[in-house]
Amino acid sequence: MSGTTGASGNLLGEDAVISCPHGGRATTATPSNGPVLLNGVPVLTGAHTHVVAGCPHTVDGVPSPCVAVRFTAQDTGITVDGAPVLLDTSAAQCLSAASVVQGPPFVQATQREVTVP
């Protein structure tokens, strides 16, 4: 982990609770064994992708579920393996299969101990 920051927010780990605005649950599609851990869980970075399951969203009665979350990592200056870390305040949007923006996700993270082995 390198860099300094003036940004505020909590680091996100792979176990962060991320959901779409309609109740679907997002998970990390690209898990890692990263060198920086939050209570034993790798830190999420802008290099990770996230998929959504269980979104019930419809448009005019036609299913249009969220299938992905796209984060825009803040320029905090903090990186892990060259990728910027994600914070619970990082900008993000949920997307349908047609890449239509369907709203921001809900992100729950707690402050935890950071470990760099």
Looking at residue 42, its amino acid is: P
Predicted confidence (pLDDT) per residue in 62-80, tens digit: 999 999 999 988 777 888 8
pLDDT tops 60 at residue 28 = yes
Q: Considering Cα of 34, then 23, then 70, then 6, what sign does the dihedral take? A: negative
Q: What pLDDT digit, counting tens, does each position of 42-53 carry?
A: 889 998 999 999
The span from the CA of 49 to the CA of 99, in Å, is 14
Q: What is residue 73's predicted lDDT score, i.e. its pLDDT?
A: 82
**What residue ranges do the domains of the chain occupy?**
17-108
CB burial class (10 A; 0-12, 13-18, 19+) of residue 6? exposed
